[in-house]
Structure 1
Amino acid sequence: MAVPRTRPSAYPAILSYGFRPFFLLGSLQAATAILLWLPLYYGKLETFSTFLPVDWHVHELLFGYLPAVVTGFLLTAIPNWTGRLPVQDFRLLVLVLLWVAGRVAVFLSAETGWLLGAAIDCSFLLAVVAAAATEIVAGRNWRNLKVLLPVATLFAANVMFHAEAHYQGVSDMSRRLGLGAVVVLVMIIGGRIVPSFTRNWLVREKPGRLSASFGRFDIGTIALSAVGLTAWSFFPDTITTGVLLIAAAAFNAVRLARWAGDRTLSDPLVLILHVAFAFVPLGLLLAGLAALAPANIPVVAGIHAFAVGAIACMTLAVMTRATLGHTGRELKASAGTCAVFVAILIAAVLRVAAAIAPAEAILLHMSAAFWIAAFAGYALLFGGLLMRPRLRARAVSPS
């Protein structure tokens, strides 16, 4: 995590680096979307959207919250990859306004028309891919162009989502494609940062067995997983899909075990990365079992293991670490940070349990409450840091 470099600016500090506005807005949107979801689910509240309540719920997390966090991460990581200055000030403001416009357009699409709402909403991810590709190409950092493939797939899935919801009345294939794209992104980015941060911490604090380095096993596992998730997107009920997903679950479990996570129990900032990634093989396993035996394992169990487990836990872990490091604070989890991690983990476990036992409505309600607590807690703990200039007196830890 290199020391961030920015050009002098008259803009507020929150527009000096991509992680600042997008992590804050993303966390607030994630908390608000679930706060509204249960009243929508029970018919106590209505949106002005052309989407059905369940589609609005799925869309605003998969294509609202997640693109915000992914954008914040990419715009912060790319300068480290390329050595270029970050996207900031007016260019960053344009992206932020596009994201906000997308949220408003989706919520009011019944008033503006579905096509205009879709065009405004989808323009954000298209702009992000263009901005990220421009920076990577300008920095001649060709090897990291592949990171944009899942992001471009997420954009395509968003376009499909709007069309599918309009012409068929409910989204189906597009939500699996979008979710699968983000899971692959977690495998790629997580496969870099989890073993890297773990290795750096172990070398400094606990010499001994280290994380395995990225290699052919990782490449093969990601490729197998991507094939399985693609099959799941388009053919979710076939035996072949089930077998591919279960095989991918086994390989990802082995991959995680190679990263020495059992040696990181004393550092919550490192440990949470391993726990979050553990939901990847769990989600693959549940999705595979649902394809083979849908009467025994509901499809939504795997979906929420991915969404609330792997993705929400990993994004909060990365958001916390990046916020601390890039604002000049010590990479150390406070009691409040630990509470945020515990809350999102409980939310994930309860949501998977609620999917398996849908008659127990209390599980769903408790999961929603812990989710809101986690994301609202992040906004409260770190919102001030995101809006204030970086501390210059303290160097950023290399881990």
Structure 2
Amino acid sequence: MSDEKRPRIPRGLRADGAALWSYGFRPFFLGGALWAVAAMALWIAALIHGLPLGGDYGPALWHAHEMVFGFAPAVLAGFLLTAIPNWTGSLPVSGPALIGLFSVWAAGRAAMASAALTGPWAAAAIDAAFLPLLLAIAAREIVAGRKWNDLKVLAGVTAVMAGNLGFHGAVLLGGDPGLWLRAAVAGYVVLVLIIGGRIIPSFTRNWLNRQGAAAMPVPYNRFDMGVIALSALALAAWTLAPESRAAALACAAAALLNAARLARWRGWAIRSEPLLWVLHLSYGFVPLGFLAVAASVAGVVQPVSALHVLTVGVIGAMMLAVMTRATRGHIGRALAASRLTTLSYLFLFAAALARPLADLAGSPRLMEAAGILWMGAFGLFVAEHGAMLILRRRQPAGAQAGA
């Protein structure tokens, strides 16, 4: 079929209608941040007051699902729908197509929250529709733009999608939901390894150039490729056999290699710029997370603690970092972190440390504090950036979004 006859996804920067639907990052960053707060508030209410959540899924599995397969895919969608047009040179998906995609995501959140009423099968079917749609749109745009090197990003999205389908299947048919949860977390971490390895040294190099620095981050080379490959193997071992000695050894090796990779990006040289050090510190939780996984096999920490180092410290923090930078850049605001933005970063890193410490100390209060810190981090994002995402874009010269 010729390109002229191929069905097209409506796209392009909207000059009419609500600005919220002009670009993918707007509704998905805002919706993801709001759900990060609301879902955590519901989870804390379940812990303290016994609020029933998730129907047959139960509160604990509902919480795990909504963090990994509810909040995180929204931010991932906002990033991909903004970054892929930059990679391919195409216009972004917007207007009715964007409204439709966001509505599918929102319907999934409503269905999972009311699973006791809709029934688990209906909730699973509604929720499972979003990630295949996102994957199809992302794949079509990358293939149409002939950006074959960017197809590797879709492997992480596919892992998350498969994890969600497997999670539902395990709950509904009997099985191990934890296997599929780990698979999805592994997919997100691989995306951080790929995309973080692309943007962190690039943004750092640009900033150091403006400062007139002589030493620069080491460019992407075979060492980076090897680190990503070994890390992916370590994550696969952890996913399939989380208590095995092989997984522990592979994750310990991945921790050392990722620490060495991070050191090559000269993070200490940009410590005065929060929009940059948050990226370096978020990636710093990658080796910490691998070490936590290895320690969990040795019985030093609980497996759930290692999981939260990856989900909060790596995935959550990297997503918040990208959300703040991309929002300010695409809206046309200066690429500089305010005090509120910096505080939101500190809240989230504190949550990433408090959650595993709560398990080590056996402290429910510390667990609740971790949840409140998480809510504070994303609540501050909404308070500062919510209006920016809803209002029309400004058009200053030279703004770089970084997505």
Instruction: Say yes or no: does 1:44 pair with 2:50.
Output: yes
Residues 285-314 of structure 1, C-alpha deviation per residue, up to 9 Å, x if partnerless?
1101212x12x2211221111011011111
| 1:380 partnered with 2:383 | yes
Equivalent residue for 1:106? 112
TM-score, structure 1 normalization: 0.95
1:325 aligned residue: 329
CA contact (8 A) 1:31 1:376 kept: yes
Q: Hey, what's the Cα distance between the residues in 2 that align with 1:334 and 1:281?
A: 28
- Per the alignment, residue 345 of structure 1 pairs with 349
Which residue of the other structure, out of 240, 247, 256, is the alignment partner of 2:262?
Answer: 256
Instruction: Look up the match of 1:390.
Output: 393
Task: Name the structure 2 match of 1:34.
Answer: 40
- CA drift of 1:50 comes to 2.2
Q: Which consecutive segments of 4 or more residues in structure 1 shift more than 3 A?
A: 5-9
Does residue 12 (structure 1) correspond to residue 15 (structure 2)? The answer is no
1:218 equivalent to 2:198? Answer no
* 1:366 and 2:366 correspond: no
The reply to whether residue 199 of structure 1 matches residue 202 of structure 2 is no
Give me the whole-angstrom Cα distance separating, in 2, the residues matched to 1:19 and 1:368. 25
Q: Given that residues 52 and 58 in structure 2 are in contact (C-alpha distance below 8 angstroms), is that contact kept between their aligned partners in structure 1?
A: no
Matching residue of 1:172? 178
Aligned residues: 392
SS state at 1:61 partner: helix
Give the Cα–Cα distance (whole angstroms) in 2 for the partners of residues 60 and 301 of structure 1.
18
Q: Distance in 1 between matches of 2:213 and 2:25?
A: 32
Distance 2:335 2:358 in 1: 34
Q: What amino acid is aligned across from residue 163 of structure 2 in structure 1? A: A
- CA-atom RMSD, angstroms? 1.5
Which amino acid is 2:259 matched to? A
Given residue 250 of structure 2, which amino acid in structure 1 is its aligned partner? L
Q: Deviations over 1:84-115 (max 9, x none)?
A: 00011111111100000111111222322322
Question: Kindly tell me: are residues 213 and 279 of structure 1, through their superposed partners in 2, closer, same or farther at Cα, counting changes over 3 Å?
Answer: same
Name the structure 2 match of 1:135: 141
Equivalent residues of 2:14, 2:95 under 8 A apart:
no
- Which deviates more, 298-307 or 33-42? 33-42
The alpha-carbon deviation at position 206 of structure 1 amounts to 4.6
Paired position in structure 1 for 2:6: none
373 and 273 in structure 1: CA distance in 2 versus 1, 3 angstrom threshold? same
Give unmatched runs, 5+ long, in structure 2.
Answer: 1-10
Q: Is the 8 A contact 1:304 1:351 kept in 2?
A: yes
In the aligned structure 1, how far is the partner of 2:350 from the partner of 2:246? 32
- In structure 2, how many angstroms separate the alpha carbons of the residues matched to 1:263 and 1:204? 13
Q: Aligned in 2, Cα 1:244/1:330: closer, same or farther, shift over 3 Å? A: same
Shift of 1:82: 0.5
Q: What is the rounded CA distance, in whole Å, between the counterparts of 2:67 and 2:350 in structure 1? A: 18
Partner of 1:184: 190
Contact 1:325 1:396 in 2 (8 A): yes
Contact 2:329 2:401 in 1 (8 A): no
Q: Partner of 1:51: helix, strand, or coil?
A: helix
47, 66, 73: which is aligned to 2:72? 66
Q: Deviations over 1:184-239 (max 9, x none)?
A: 11111111011110111011125122111111111111111111111111111111
Task: Give how far 1:169 is off.
Answer: 7.2
What amino acid sits opposite 1:326 in the alignment? H
- The Cα shift of 1:360 comes to 2.2
Aligned residues with identical type, % of pairs: 43
Question: TM-score by structure 2 length?
Answer: 0.94
**Compared CA separation, residues 110 and 360, structure 1 to 2 (3 A):** closer
Q: Tell me, which stretches of 5 or more residues in structure 1 are unaligned?
A: none
What amino acid maps onto 1:136 in structure 2?
I
In 2: Cα distance, 1:155 partner to 1:369 partner: 28
Q: What corresponds to 1:239 in structure 2?
A: 245
AA at the equivalent of 2:336: K
Which whole-Å CA distance do the structure 2 matches of 1:43 and 1:37 have between them?
10
